[in-house]
Structure 1
Amino acid sequence: MEKKRLLSLDVLRGMTVCLMILVNNGAGEHIYSTLQHSKWNGMTPCDLVFPFFLFIMGISTFLSLKQTNFAWNRQTACKIAKRTVLLFAIGLFINWFDLLLQGRALDFEHLRIWGVMQRIAICYGAVSVFALSINHKRTLPLIATLLIAYAMFLMLGNGYAYDSQQNLIAQIDIHLFGQAHLYHKSPVDPEGLASSLPAIAHTLIGFYCGRLMAMARTTEEKVLKFMLVGGVLVLIGYLASFGLPLNKRIWSPSYVCITCGLAATCLGLLMYVIDMKGVSRSRLTFFLVFGTNPLFLYVVSELLSILFGSRAWKEELYGTLHAIIVNPYLASLVYALLFTLLHAAIGYPLWKKKIYIKL
């Protein structure tokens, strides 16, 4: 039973990482809107991938630390600290690699401090410390406190202002780190420090769902719990969106609830299909390839994306595809699909040989 439950999680993780790579690697100037992040308020399917990953990481953190009985000791603390630092350092390396290929290897004054891996590091570290330090019965009150506090912060700090000079979230990051070290294609850094608070709450929701999963006695009970939690969170998020619109850039509370709700629902459906209906494992191979080495393949995708872009390989390949496929949107999608399949080819032998590269 445990093996099947973990299989469901691996499949959802694989789907998420696969889509992360796909949506991050469109080519040309014409990309389907569904494969682009919303500019500000609102949400596209593309805006689901990163929150799904944080939700899954919350569940995985619970399952991992449960093996140590959530005991706070030197070995576990060192493991958490090392992984947190490693993830953050990898994120910095990705940003530096971009500068390197631009011929600006020593331009540390413009090195972006934040990014996807850095946010993963902060959320993992914070939730792991919570898991070892605080009674897990306080998970829901803590999540509610974090999201309510952040909602008040947004309202009092003009958090929805599309102007970095007026938006307190942006101003905090600017004053702490400097504009040169932040993301420049949005009024606020979408992975900055200030908006990490709701992202931690987001990961804690996944942690709470991991606890629900462990407490369930049967697969049917797990499915029902995830579907119920998913439905409740989507409803809460929808109601909250009337006063606090969905917004990935600032990681709004409504965005947290709806994306976590959808992730819980998807996991419940996968448990039903895989664990209860017994879908053949061979049919899941493609997503298991991504799900068993998720962060490794994501990091490789980021480095290759930077390399392809800096060497004009991306432009040349897209140009070749566009010459064959007249529709520029379709040509861009085909490029992204080929790029994703490249990573499936990289990950397949690792999965086949049961080599799991843990970051």
Structure 2
Amino acid sequence: MKAERLLALDVLRGMTVVGMILVNNAGGKLSYESLRHSAWNGLTPCDLVFPFFLFIMGISTYFSLGKFRFRPSAGAVRKIVRRTLLILIIGWGIHWFGCACEGDFFPFGHLRLTGVLPRIALCYGAVSCLVLFVNHKYLGWIAGLLLGGYGVLLCLGNGYVPDTTNLLSVVDRALLEAGHLYPKSPVDPEGVLGTVPALAHTLIGFCCGRLLLREDVPEKNTLRLFVAGFMLMGIGFLLTEALPLNKRIWSPTFVGVTCGLAAMLQATLLYFIDLKGKKRWCRFFEVFGVNPLFLYVLSELAAIVLGATGGKSVVYAGIQALIADPYLASAAYAVMFTLLMGVFGEILYKKKIYIKL
């Protein structure tokens, strides 16, 4: 395939952003199982959203840095450093904004330093540097070594124990104060050590991007991507007896299964959208896919404001007056909130405004 913008990539990215917004904004305390993360071991549809985004970011990094011919020029390094720092600052800024809306304007002693955007920033920065300075034929091996070494650490360090004796928790608390970590669990789902397999995850996405742009017939590359995804998923499931699927610790099998599923879905979308021209159905997701970071950040800020002002309670009470089932009412609120974000996305899309870092 040519190194041009692929609509299917925007569509899958849009699907993940829609999923992020949907699962983060339930109306009430009760949610359908599919809209909740696994309590510990296991896999729900909700657990696929973040890993899919990292996989897509890996593919996008191949497209982006390909413009620099993967050479460590000053321009390429500046772009990587700038984007990494901006995503980090935005992530921390969202946490600060949440505290400020509660009257705590100087929460620097307990401002969460980990989180979704910080992990995205670290994965993007580290993987981008690797692909500039390391021969690409070694990247798959590096991903494998990272996952293998991490798997050994999990086995030796109580990695599957959901308490403070878990090695991930030990490392996080050794490097960061407890106030800077996820407060609702002894094991931070976006902690420091758990970023290691997430780096491997993003590297796998990069390798899949390289596979897509091979000098070959596009149909063959798409089929190769689907087969590679099937193999990754199969290996992941085969190893679950030794290393169960677990999003919170980002287990190696979780990486294999979710990367495999993402690759197969991406290949399927590429075949139908970009190769067969079946595009009419995907406008909604494309709107989210071309401005993913902006709409995600907007959703986080809007949710904070609605919660702090009581607007969420008022809207949800109105929904509950019409829908008695608390699960359905909670889901209805999440859908309405997501559609509202889509309205803003549609305005930007029509005006051809693409907000990038």
TM-score range, shorter chain: over 0.9
Question: In structure 2, what is the Cα distance between the partners aligned to 1:200 and 1:210?
Answer: 15
Question: In structure 2, what is the Cα distance between the partners aligned to 1:190 and 1:262?
Answer: 21
- For residue 112 of structure 1, what is the aligned residue in structure 2? 112
User: Is contact 1:28-1:332 (8 Å) kept?
Assistant: yes
CA positional deviation for 1:306: 1.1
SS in 2 for 1:358: coil
- For residue 248 of structure 1, what is the aligned residue in structure 2? 247
Question: In structure 1, what is the Cα distance between the partners aligned to 2:40 and 2:327?
Answer: 22
- For residue 86 of structure 1, what is the aligned residue in structure 2? 86
Question: In structure 2, what is the Cα distance between the partners aligned to 1:97 and 1:187?
Answer: 24
Question: In structure 2, what is the Cα distance between the partners aligned to 1:30 and 1:306?
Answer: 19
Unaligned runs of 5+ residues in structure 2 are none
Q: How many residues align?
A: 357
Question: In structure 1, what is the Cα distance between the partners aligned to 2:285 and 2:308?
Answer: 29
Matches within 5 A, 1:26-105: 26-105=26-105
TM-score, with structure 2 as normaliser:
0.98
Question: In structure 1, what is the Cα distance between the partners aligned to 2:215 and 2:327?
Answer: 45
- Deviation digits for residues 280-314 of structure 1 (CA, Å, limit 9, x no counterpart): 3x432111100000011001111111111111211
- Deviation digits for residues 117-167 of structure 1 (CA, Å, limit 9, x no counterpart): 100000000110011000000011101100000001101111111111x11
CA positional deviation for 1:277: 2.2
> Which shifted more, 124-133 or 306-315?
306-315
CA positional deviation for 1:276: 2.8
- For residue 185 of structure 2, what is the aligned residue in structure 1? 186
User: Is contact 2:162-2:186 (8 Å) kept?
Assistant: yes
User: Is contact 1:198-1:252 (8 Å) kept?
Assistant: yes
SS in 2 for 1:110: coil
User: Is contact 1:206-1:260 (8 Å) kept?
Assistant: yes
Q: Structure 1: which 4+ aligned runs deviate by more than 3 Å?
A: 1-5
SS in 1 for 2:235: helix
**1:170 lines up with 2:169 in the alignment:** yes
- Deviation digits for residues 183-240 of structure 1 (CA, Å, limit 9, x no counterpart): 0112211111110000000000000000001115222112211110111001110011
User: Is contact 2:225-2:264 (8 Å) kept?
Assistant: yes
**1:315 lines up with 2:313 in the alignment:** yes
- For residue 302 of structure 2, what is the aligned residue in structure 1? 304
Question: In structure 1, what is the Cα distance between the partners aligned to 2:255 and 2:53?
Answer: 12
**Distance change in 2, residues 1:77/1:4 (3 Å):** closer
> In percent, how many aligned pairs have the same letter?
53
Q: Partner letter of residue 46 of structure 2?
A: C
Pairwise CA RMSD = 1.2
Question: In structure 2, what is the Cα distance between the partners aligned to 1:77 and 1:138?
Answer: 21
**1:239 lines up with 2:245 in the alignment:** no
User: Is contact 1:5-1:271 (8 Å) kept?
Assistant: no
**1:208 lines up with 2:171 in the alignment:** no
Q: Partner letter of residue 114 of structure 1?
A: T
User: Is contact 2:236-2:256 (8 Å) kept?
Assistant: yes
User: Is contact 2:3-2:63 (8 Å) kept?
Assistant: no
Q: Aligned to 1:288, which of 280, 286, 289?
A: 286
CA positional deviation for 1:178: 0.9
TM-score, with structure 1 as normaliser:
0.97
Question: In structure 2, what is the Cα distance between the partners aligned to 1:60 and 1:32?
Answer: 32
CA positional deviation for 1:2: 3.9
Question: In structure 1, what is the Cα distance between the partners aligned to 2:349 and 2:89?
Answer: 25
- Deviation digits for residues 160-183 of structure 1 (CA, Å, limit 9, x no counterpart): 11111x111101111211111110
User: Is contact 1:5-1:275 (8 Å) kept?
Assistant: no
User: Is contact 1:11-1:288 (8 Å) kept?
Assistant: yes
